[in-house]
Each structure stands twice: as structure tokens, then as C-alpha cells.
């Protein structure tokens, strides 16, 4: 009788569990656990490229709640999208703009969670997490997506294991790398710099080349920076001008030289010349400061100038370098401006202009009579 009672109790428990699963629409998931074969199209690989994840995880109920949230998020992201291609763009843009690369996790992956649910909750992860979440969002939007992995070469002489995605729109496959598309790592500062870019949403063939050819990748990034800069308006940076002048004068004082007098009468034409040089550089065209030279010559008599020299410095960088960093970069050039340490030059005009990711600095050294 005891055995019969146990059997009846077990049957009742199983029936109650199945009823609960049916009410929550989880019955198909339950049976899939026993019937799905390995390597199916919809399966999302869980093996990390950077290392093995820690074992264990959240309770099934919590995981299901998160998965439902990912579906809701996908619907929110793609709301208003005209077609699947628009949905692809919207999901790529959202992931690259809202997820941050986790440098600390990259150092010790076993100490952290992983996957689409983890990244949805934390908004920080590594390439595996980016690819998992991107794939989950695409599939929730009804777009066929795959998880890809392999070796990439982000810089000359550097090889890494990496993960990305492919997506099928109609009969066309797209390659998308939301990790690289979200920003980059500043190796000198040890920081992740958010910088959303659509450069890494392209054809699978083009993405493969970006992954394997760091020189080509750099050239494409510079081209994109130029395109962005061409659409931007040049702006002057007065605080940078003051900061550079302050640092040049401190250096002169340390060398026993008199500090520069700030010559504001030439500031506007110096800024205009810097803006003109920036626009030419953005179009990858040659430029000169001959126009600035003529304008300074016209002002030589009223300003009592005996001679002058100018120096042009340009740098493409993001984020914009600080005044301190620009000062260091100028002095580290193979031929820094000699007049900075020449006692015959007692006046200085500093013009700094930014256009997009381009910074142009013009230094005008002045000698008076």
C-alpha cells in the first residue's frame, strides 16, 4: 500500500507540474529539453572564447523572466521599424550605444556571469556576451541570426579569440560585430572608450577583412572619422588655447626665459586659418598657411613686429586630447617649434580648432622691435 501511495503521489506531482507549465506557456520548452538535438539552427553557443564560464547560474524562473524581458526589449527597440533591415539597424544601434565592454571581466571571466541574460541585466560584458545578446534580440524580432567565433587581429601582431554575429535579411547575409562597433580600448589608459559605429555592420566578407587585416581596419576607421568630421562644424577651443599658453610659459620660465605675451590681436585670423586647415584636412586635401602669412604681414607695422614664425599641428583622436596631452604631443614631434625656446620671440598667439575628431593647433611666434 505504501508503494501504491508513493506512485499515486508521484503521478499527482507530475500532473501538477505539467499543468503549471501549460499555464505559463512553458510546456514546449520542457519537451525541447528532451527532444532537441545538438547544433540546431536556433541554438546559441554558450562556450566562451575568452575562457570557461563559472558553473551554475540563476534559477529557471529568473532566467525565464529575463528572457521575456529581452523579447520585450526587442519589441521596444524595433517599434516603428519599416522592415527587417530597419530592425537589424535598430538592434545593432541599440547594443552598440547601450552596452559597455567590461575590462575587468576580460581579465578573469570565471568570476562573472555570462550570456544574453547576464548582459541584459548588467549592461557590461565581453564579446561573447555581446554576440549572445545581439543574437537573442535579432531572433526575438523574427530575424535569423547565427553566433560566430574565431581568431581576429585588432592590431598589428595581436591575435585574439572573438565572437560576433551574422543575420539573414531576405536572401542577404550581413556580418555584425557589436563589440567592436560599441567603441574601443585605450591601451595607454586602460579604459574602454564608448564610440558607437556602423563600420562593423556590413557584408560577411567585409567584416572578415576588418577582422583579419588591422591596417585595412585602421584605414577604414580613419575614412569614417573624415566622413564624420566633414559633417561637423569647426569650433574653437579657448580653454585649450589658454592651457597651451600657460604650459609654454611655464617651460620658458623653467629655462630662464621671459614668458610670452599673449597677442590677442592676431587670435581671430589664427583661428580662421586653423578652421580652414581643418576643413582641408577633413577632405584629405593639401593646405598651407600662406593666407595667414599675408594677414600677419598686413598687421606687422601696427603691432611693431620685426619677424614671426608659425607652426601647424594636427591630430585625429577621440576623445579630444586634453591641453596637457596636446602640449606633450607637440613637444614630442621630430621638429617642434624652435621659437618656443628662443629669447628673441616674446609674443605668442595660440589658435585651437576642433572639427569632429580632428584637432588643429596653430602657434604664431612673434618678435617685436
From CA 83, how far away is CA 206, in angstroms rounded? 23
Compute how many other C-beta atoms are within 10 angstroms of the C-beta atom of residue 252: 20
* Residue 5 clears pLDDT 70, i.e. is over it: no
Can you list the alpha helix ranges (DSSP code H) found in the chain? 2-23, 27-35, 60-78, 84-98, 103-107, 115-122, 127-140, 178-182, 204-212, 214-231, 238-254, 267-282, 290-303, 323-331
pLDDT at 187: 87
pLDDT at 68: 63
CATH 3.40.50, applies to 59-230 = no
* Residue 363 clears pLDDT 90, i.e. is over it: yes
From CA 222, how far away is CA 216, in angstroms rounded? 10
55 φψ region: left (φ > 0), alpha (ψ -120 to 50), beta (else)? beta
pTM of the predicted protein model: 0.74
CATH 3.10.620 positions along the chain are 59-230
pLDDT tens-digit series, residues 37-74 = 333 333 233 222 222 222 233 333 333 434 468 999 99
From CA 185, how far away is CA 198, in angstroms rounded? 17
pLDDT at 279: 94
pLDDT tens-digit series, residues 212-239 = 999 999 999 999 999 999 999 999 999 9
Q: Which CATH class is domain 235-368?
A: alpha beta
* The residue to which cell 581643418 is assigned: 278
* Residue 262 clears pLDDT 80, i.e. is over it: yes
pLDDT at 47: 29
The DSSP letter of residue 200 is G
Over range 175-201, report the average pLDDT.
95
* Residue 32 clears pLDDT 60, i.e. is over it: no
CATH 3.40.33.10 positions along the chain are 235-368
Amino acid at each position: 500500500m505504501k508503494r501504491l501511495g508513493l506512485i499515486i503521489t508521484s503521478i499527482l506531482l507530475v500532473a501538477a507540474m505539467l499543468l503549471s507549465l501549460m499555464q505559463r506557456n512553458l510546456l514546449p520548452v520542457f519537451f525541447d529539453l528532451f527532444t532537441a538535438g545538438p547544433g540546431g539552427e536556433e541554438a546559441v553557443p554558450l562556450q566562451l572564447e575568452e575562457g570557461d564560464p563559472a558553473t551554475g547560474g540563476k534559477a529557471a524562473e529568473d532566467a525565464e523572466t529575463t528572457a521575456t524581458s529581452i523579447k520585450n526589449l526587442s519589441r521596444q527597440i524595433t517599434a516603428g521599424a519599416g522592415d527587417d533591415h530597419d530592425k537589424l539597424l535598430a538592434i545593432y544601434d541599440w547594443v552598440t550605444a547601450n552596452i559597455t565592454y567590461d575590462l575587468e571581466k576580460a581579465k578573469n571571466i570565471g568570476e562573472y556571469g555570462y550570456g544574453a541574460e547576464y548582459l541584459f541585466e548588467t549592461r557590461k560584458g565581453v564579446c561573447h556576451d555581446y554576440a549572445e545578446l545581439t543574437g537573442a534580440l535579432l531572433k526575438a524580432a523574427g530575424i535569423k541570426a547565427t553566433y560566430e567565433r574565431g581568431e581576429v587581429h585588432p592590431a598589428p601582431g595581436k591575435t585574439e579569440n572573438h565572437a560576433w554575429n551574422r543575420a539573414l535579411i531576405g536572401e542577404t547575409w550581413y556580418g555584425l560585430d557589436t563589440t567592436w562597433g560599441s567603441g574601443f580600448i585605450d591601451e595607454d589608459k586602460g579604459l574602454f572608450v564608448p564610440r558607437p559605429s556602423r563600420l562593423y555592420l556590413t557584408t560577411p566578407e567585409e567584416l572578415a577583412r576588418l577582422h583579419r587585416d588591422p591596417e585595412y581596419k585602421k584605414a577604414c576607421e580613419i575614412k569614417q572619422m573624415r566622413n564624420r568630421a566633414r559633417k561637423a562644424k569647426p569650433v574653437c577651443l579657448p580653454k585649450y588655447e589658454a592651457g597651451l599658453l600657460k604650459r609654454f610659459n611655464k617651460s620658458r620660465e623653467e629655462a630662464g626665459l621671459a614668458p610670452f605675451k599673449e597677442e590677442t590681436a592676431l587670435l581671430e585670423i589664427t583661428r580662421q586659418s586653423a578652421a580652414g586647415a581643418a576643413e582641408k584636412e577633413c577632405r584629405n586635401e593639401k593646405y598651407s598657411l600662406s593666407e595667414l602669412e599675408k594677414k600677419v604681414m598686413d598687421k606687422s607695422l601696427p603691432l611693431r613686429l620685426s619677424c614671426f614664425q608659425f607652426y601647424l599641428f594636427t591630430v585625429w583622436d577621440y576623445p579630444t586630447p586634453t591641453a596637457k596631452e596636446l602640449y606633450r604631443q607637440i613637444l614630442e614631434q621630430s621638429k617642434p617649434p624652435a621659437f618656443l625656446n628662443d629669447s628673441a620671440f616674446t609674443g605668442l598667439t595660440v589658435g585651437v580648432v576642433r572639427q569632429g575628431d580632428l584637432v588643429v593647433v596653430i602657434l604664431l611666434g612673434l618678435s617685436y622691435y
